[in-house]
Copies of this chain bind each other. A is one copy, B any other.
Amino acid sequence: MYSTSFLYRLRPLPPVFTDFLAQQYSKEKINHRKMSTKSTDNRVLTVDTINPNVITMEYAVRGPIVIRAVELEKQLENGAKLPFNSVIKANIGDAHAMGQTPITFIRQVIACTSDPSLLKIEYYPEDVKQKALSLLNACGGGSVGSYTQSNGIEIIRKHIAQFIERRDGYACDPDSVCISGGASESIRNVLKLFIHPDSSKKKSGIMVPIPQYPLYSASIEEFNLGQVGYFLEEEKNWALDMEKKFILFFWTNELERALTENQTEFDVKVIVVINPGNPTGQVLTRENIEAIIRFAYSNKLFIFADEVYQENVYAEGAYFHSFRKVMKEMGDPFDKLELASFYSCSKWLTLGGQVGIRSGGYMGECGLRGGYVQFENFDPQVFVHFKKMISAKLCSTVLGQIAMDCIVDHPQPGDPSFDLWLKEKNEVLSSLNKRAKLVTQSYNKIEGVHCQEVQGAMYAFPKISLPEKAIKEALSRGEVPDFFYAKKLLEETGICIVPGSGFGQRPNTWHFRTTILPQIELFNEMLVRFKAFHERFLESYK
């Protein structure tokens, strides 16, 4: 009825997306592909001459739906009459934008380091002032306006290493840490090392989970690398199913299938794991992690452990295990594998090892842009070149580095800021815990929507059953069906979610990603709008 290859979303989004963006959602109302064959102007840079990977790359989390949501928001501000009175952005893990209040301690330290005159007045607690002072002393000329070393301020790297050490129980070298402007930057920097500029050679293949976070698909496409998708098992709550099955005439598991199918086209070098999962919200079991490590060893793969949601675990019995820790505990030869693990101050933050405190804290400082990569068994020569490469961007934002520091080296019991910090952290945490459960339960009550348990991270990825008639209409318009659905949802209700095709999904299944960040009142409002829309949608395409 319709081509499977079109729906089987292991590769970047089909150009229909780009066209759609152009036709419907840009001011200029241009159709790129049509234009590109009749480009008449005399510009140096046109869609015919631009880097073709920039054209084909897609980044759904900020794609056409989000662009349109911003437009609608503006129309509302300007008094336009729309079928809704607010846009609800559940498309991106942006906690503060969704009403989350910041952790006071972080903001106080940033204020003091920005304006050191605050150190001289009676306003902030002593521990805030002391931390600010020690960080200022580590800045060139005592100012956050100075460049830092390209890999970040040394004392902050030391605190990060201590944090990792407490978490894993194994020593960590501060020189194995490089701070960056958010984890995204680190992930992209490490990916770049695998580029082959000689296009006559096989591209380096990067294994990514499907569904995946589109930073990977977008960067892989931009960098001219090869994406090798391995499927997560929805019905097993998005775990990685390592059971051998009879696929393609062989008994094989999902990782082996993905590797085998792509080995002729790509030189597969990397396996990316996102744990806890984005967009799928699962938390990998230790068994799963060990199996991945064994697979990486057998197939000589470099491991990317995207662990930005590491303390963001809600489900009973689920527990976060870092790849680093598991590798070290497995011992030789697995502890010799190359590993890059990523963390960020945008998401959730651990208190691992603190006396009397079990669970994680929440910061959500997305806009401050702090993050890091930590390497294990990284070739020291390659590391020299890596550091040289990142030095061309000078350094990441000093205030973002400081935010990262406040997270890995936070107030301790007895410190003046401790009580408030603990209270804020617990409030955030328990509220998110509730929302994780509420989101799962609420979506599962709606006909034709099926949502796995949100075990961790801050997203749900519900499956939607779309009526045949709706799928046909979408395809006849040249749109991916879940995109068609998401667009209608936005236009009719103001709810902005991301279609599942932006992350990848099994053929003929349709999903969307929503964050669990809207505060409970807003979420309930969102649910009312969503349910009414969904029922209308099913009815009209029955």
Contact = CB atoms under 8 A, between A and B. Distances in A.
Interface string A379-396: 111101110110111111
A26 B63 CA distance: 43
Interface string A99-131: 111101001101110110010010100000000
Contacts of A41: 379
A70 to B, nearest CB: 7
Contacts of A222: 192, 389, 392
A368 B224 CA distance: 32
A363 B53 CA distance: 37
A104 B118 CA distance: 12
B388 A141 contact: no
Interface string A427-460: 0000000000000000000000000000000000
A366 B399 contact: no
Given A35-B381, A44-B301, A96 B54 contact: no
B114 A51 contact: no
Interface in A189-206: 192-200
A477 interface: no
A192 B51 contact: yes
Interface stretch (A143-151, A284-292, A323-331, A479-487): A143-151
A188 interface: yes
A426 to B, nearest CB: 19
Instruction: Give the interface size bracket for A toward B.
Output: 35 or more
Interface in A23-70: 26, 28, 30, 32, 35-36, 41-47, 49-55, 57-59, 61-63, 70
A17 to B, nearest CB: 10
A62 B394 contact: yes
B54 A193 contact: yes
A32 B381 contact: yes
A398 to B, nearest CB: 4
A95 interface: yes
A94 interface: yes
B46 A391 contact: no
A107 B218 CA distance: 36
Given A392-B222, A397-B369, A399-B399, A140 B269 contact: no
A315 interface: no
A155 interface: no
A143 B399 contact: no
A397 B366 CA distance: 9
Interface stretch (A178-186, A241-249, A466-474): A178-186
Contacts of A47: 379, 381-382, 385
Contact of A364 (B145, B192, B381): B145
A95 B51 CA distance: 36
A133 interface: no
A141 B100 contact: yes
A28 B396 CA distance: 26
A300 B44 contact: yes
A134 B381 CA distance: 48
Interface in A311-362: 336, 338
A379 B148 CA distance: 37
A47 B197 CA distance: 15
A94 B144 CA distance: 11
Contacts of A148: 367
A377 interface: yes
A57 B385 CA distance: 9
A94 B146 contact: yes
A504 interface: no
28 contacts: A26-B380, A26-B384, A30-B384, A32-B381, A43-B338, A44-B300, A44-B302, A45-B302, A45-B338, A45-B378, A50-B193, A51-B192, A96-B141, A97-B141, A98-B141, A101-B143, A102-B143, A107-B114, A110-B111, A111-B112, A121-B123, A143-B367, A145-B363, A147-B366, A197-B199, A222-B389, A367-B397, A368-B398
